[in-house]
Structure 1
Amino acid sequence: MTNPKQCLACNSDLQGRPDKKFCDPYCKSAWHYSKNRDEDAGFYHKVDRQLKTNRKILKSFNKAGKATVQSEVLLGHGFDPKFFTHYWKNNKGDVYLFVYEFGFLTRKENGKKKYILVTWQQYMEK
C-alpha cells in the first residue's frame, strides 16, 4: 500500500493522477505566488521596480511640466538617477535623462546639486 501524496500548498491528500501536485487551481496559484515572492527578485525585476519608482517620484514633483528640485529631496524619496529609459540632448549640449515621459537634468547651483525636471515634448522626438 502506498502513502497518498499531499498537496504542496495545503497538505491535503491528493486524489487522481499519480503525478498530481496540487488539489485545485487555487492551491497551485497560491503555491507559485508564495514561491516567487520568497525568491530574490531577478535583475529585470529590480530594474523595473526602480524605473517605476523613479517615474512616480518625477511625476509627483513635476506637476506643471517643468520644475527645479534639490537632489536631496528626490534621493530621500528613493530616486536613483542611474536608472533611466532614454536621453535627449538639446541645442546647448545639455543631456536630459528620461524615465519614460519624465526627464531630469542635473545642475549645480550655488554649490548645491539640483534637478531640473521636464516632461517629454513633441519637438524632442527629432
Structure 2
Amino acid sequence: MNRLQKNCLNCDKPLKGRIDKKYCDPRCKSAHQYKIERERPERFFNKVDNQLRLNRRLLKEYNKAGKAIVRQSLLMEEGFDPNFFTHYWKNQKRDVYLFVYEYGFLSKKENGNDKYVLIKWQDYMAK
C-alpha cells in the first residue's frame, strides 16, 4: 500500500490508519496549525482592527463622564494612534473631531501642552 504521507507533519512519528492521514492525533494537528499561523505575517486588516480596538478602549477609559481633556502624551504612551479612526464630525466652530466608533477626540493646544478633548457621540451629531 502506497501512502501519501508517511509521517506526522508535526511530530514526524509514523502514521497508522487512513492512507491520506497527515497527523497522528488531534493535538498534533492543532499544534502544527498553530505553528504555521504564528509564522504567517500579520495581515493588514488585523493590524488596523487591533489599533482601532485599542484606540476605542483608551478613549472610553479616559472619558468616563462624556467629555474630558487629556494630555496627548498620556494616551500615546499607552499605544494610542490618532491616525486610526472610523469617521469624523465637524462642529459649528469648524473644529473636526475624529471618532473611533462612538468615542471622539479633538487635538488642542492648552497652556503650551498638546491635549485631546474627548467626547462621546451624541444623536444631534448625526444631522
Tell me what 1:41 maps to: 42
Q: Which amino acid aligns with 1:65?
A: G
Tell me what 1:108 maps to: 109
Question: 1:2 offset after TM fit, Å?
Answer: 6.3
RMSD, aligned α-carbons = 2.0
* Matched residues, number: 126
Tell me what 2:20 maps to: 19
What secondary structure does 1:50 align onto?
helix
Structure 2 gap ranges (5+) = none
Tell me what 1:66 maps to: 67
Tell me what 1:8 maps to: 9
Per-residue deviation, residues 78-123 of structure 1 (Å, max 9, x unmatched): 1000011111111111111111111100001122110000111111
Tell me what 1:75 maps to: 76
Equivalent positions of 1:113-124 (< 5 A) are 113-124=114-125
Structure 1 gap ranges (5+) = none
What is the TM-score when the length of structure 2 is the normalising length? 0.86
Tell me what 1:88 maps to: 89
Identity %: 59
What secondary structure does 1:68 align onto?
strand
Per-residue deviation, residues 33-69 of structure 1 (Å, max 9, x unmatched): 2211232211111111111111111111011111000
What is the TM-score when the length of structure 1 is the normalising length? 0.87
Q: Which amino acid aligns with 1:82?
A: N
